[in-house]
Structure 1
Amino acid sequence: MLGVSSIKYLLASFYVVDGKKMHYHSMNTMSGISKFVDLNTFSNRLNGYLYNDNCVFGVEVFVVKNTFKEGRLSMMHDPVTYYHTWKVTKFSSFEKEKYASESFGCYNWNIVLYPNGREEGKGNSISIYLDVSRSSFPPNSNLFVKFVLRVKDQKNIEHIEYTGDYLYGLSNDIAWGWRKFLSLAKLKDSEQGYLVDDTLIIEAEVTLLGLVLMKT
């Protein structure tokens, strides 16, 4: 397995640096940025990205050959995916900073919702994370998972979803997710279908890809 410590995507003079580590393996062969540059900006000839109907793309990849220095990765031959649907009712009455769904799956996964956002999402978006009970971990192991978090569009079936992979460890008690998952303006827009009858529906799909067996 190769871990990519940082990726710089380039388009003419426009570039994006993604500093997250990405783990490439047989079940995760592609990674990128879903909204790289908007079409209006890209198509505007004054910006120089599209010239004579041609454009140039580039990428710089920095590879870390031994991502799991502290342990040995054991991949699952037949990984199991756990599904959970959290129906969040009376959303407008949520006043606490965060809320968690009931646990699901053999390792007690939880969807964590910040109804008024967290950090740069605070006050403008909802933040959604995936967390796990550390007490359910196998002895001397960390969990390497791939997961999908989704907010359902209950009217137009234009769901909002994000996919990620993450190494959950005993020493890492931070949940993984997205601070600006969905803007509050779009969520509360009555023309959209994300909040219907003051109810929000969040789905999670969690696949355990492998265990990192820690050295004792």
Structure 2
Amino acid sequence: MHADAKEAVKYFDQMRIEHGFAELLSVEEFNDPGNGYLVNDCCVFGAEVFVIQPSTGSEETLTMVKDLDDSTYTWSIKDFSNLNEDDQYSDAFTVGGREWKLNLCLKGYKSGKDKYLSLFIWLQDCEKLVPKEKVYAKYKLRILDHSQVKTIEKTDSKWFDTKEGWGFHNLIPLKELSNGYLGKDTLTVEVEFDVISVIKVRT
């Protein structure tokens, strides 16, 4: 009896160490002397195996999360007018199983220097990424208007694989901050994640 059933190639690895047939032959057929499977209370089993050498290339797996719990993080910076350091950092927060941090440049950065407020997001735990692993995020960065009328919002998407911030150099002109964005000398910024995905490469 041959039981190949025109099967597709089966792959063996650390997670899949065996393959076979759950219903190879009925007990009645096996015990029927006329079929010749059982002779003198003895049966011979065999397997014909063709081995295909594994590819030497890489295998990528993508995990994507769209319905994120606690996808929004809000950061309120108090005593804004008395801050001395140009670079301000939020506490670390977790979204999509990853740690993130916001970075606010009070006097702008690069093209926004001395003219705009700049806001960036960092993957805080990037040192935990394995080689060739990277994280994709689609997100919105906001500066909230305390009157809830003129909220500034910009959307971006980036791949994160190093400790480098991504965001906007020219988020809002510095001269406009006094127009409703500094209620009680407090600036409130926010990030909302739409999608987070992770690519892992196995060689």
TM-score by length of 1: 0.60
3-state SS, counterpart of residue 98 of structure 2 = coil
Alignment partner of 1:143 out of 129, 132, 135: 135
* Distance (whole Å) between structure 1 residues aligned to residue 101 and residue 136 of structure 2: 16
Say whether 1:98 aligns with 2:90.
no
1:122 paired with 2:113, answer: yes
Which residue of the partner structure matches residue 28 of structure 1?
A: none
Distance 1:209 1:124 in 2: 32
Unaligned runs of 5+ in 1: 1-69
| Displacement after TM superposition at 1:72 (Å) | 2.7
Q: Which residue of 2 aligns with 1:5?
A: none
The corresponding residue for 2:123 is 132
What is the CA–CA distance in structure 2 between the aligned matches of 1:185 and 1:137, rounded to whole Å? 40
Of the three residues 177, 186, 191, the one matched with 1:187 is 177
- The answer (yes or no) to whether the contact 2:138–2:195 under 8 Å persists in 1 is yes
Query: Is residue 73–residue 210 contact of structure 1 (8 Å, CA) maintained in 2?
Result: no
Determine the C-alpha separation between the residues in 2 that align with 1:123 and 1:71: 46
In structure 2, how many angstroms separate the alpha carbons of the residues matched to 1:73 and 1:121?
38
Offset at residue 133 of structure 1 (A): 1.4
Alignment-mate amino acid for residue 143 of structure 2: V
- Which of these two proteins has the greater Rg computed from alpha carbons? 2
Local SS of the residue matching 1:158? coil
How big is the shift at 1:71? 7.0
**1:1-216 superposed matches below 5 A:** 72=60, 74-76=62-64, 78-80=66-68, 82-105=71-94, 106-135=97-126, 137-140=128-131, 141-169=133-161, 172-188=162-178, 192-216=179-203
Runs of 5+ consecutive residues of structure 2 not aligned to the other structure = 1-57
Indicate the structure with greater strand content.
1
Conserved 8 A contact 2:108-2:115: yes
* CA displacement at 1:194 relative to structure 2: 0.8
Aligned partner of residue 194 in structure 1, secondary structure? coil
- Cα displacement (A) at 1:83: 1.4
- Is residue 125–residue 182 contact of structure 1 (8 Å, CA) maintained in 2? yes
Structure 1 residues 92 and 151: CA distance shift in structure 2, 3 A:
same
1:51-107, Cα deviation, whole Å (9 max, x unpaired):
xxxxxxxxxxxxxxxxxxx87351425542521110110111122121111111132
- Provide the rounded CA distance (Å) in 1 between the counterparts of 2:68 and 2:104: 24
* TM-score normalized by the length of structure 2: 0.63
State the number of aligned residues: 142
Query: Conserved in 2, the CA contact under 8 Å of 1:153 and 1:159?
Result: yes
Quote the residue 1:6 is aligned against.
none
RMSD: 2.1
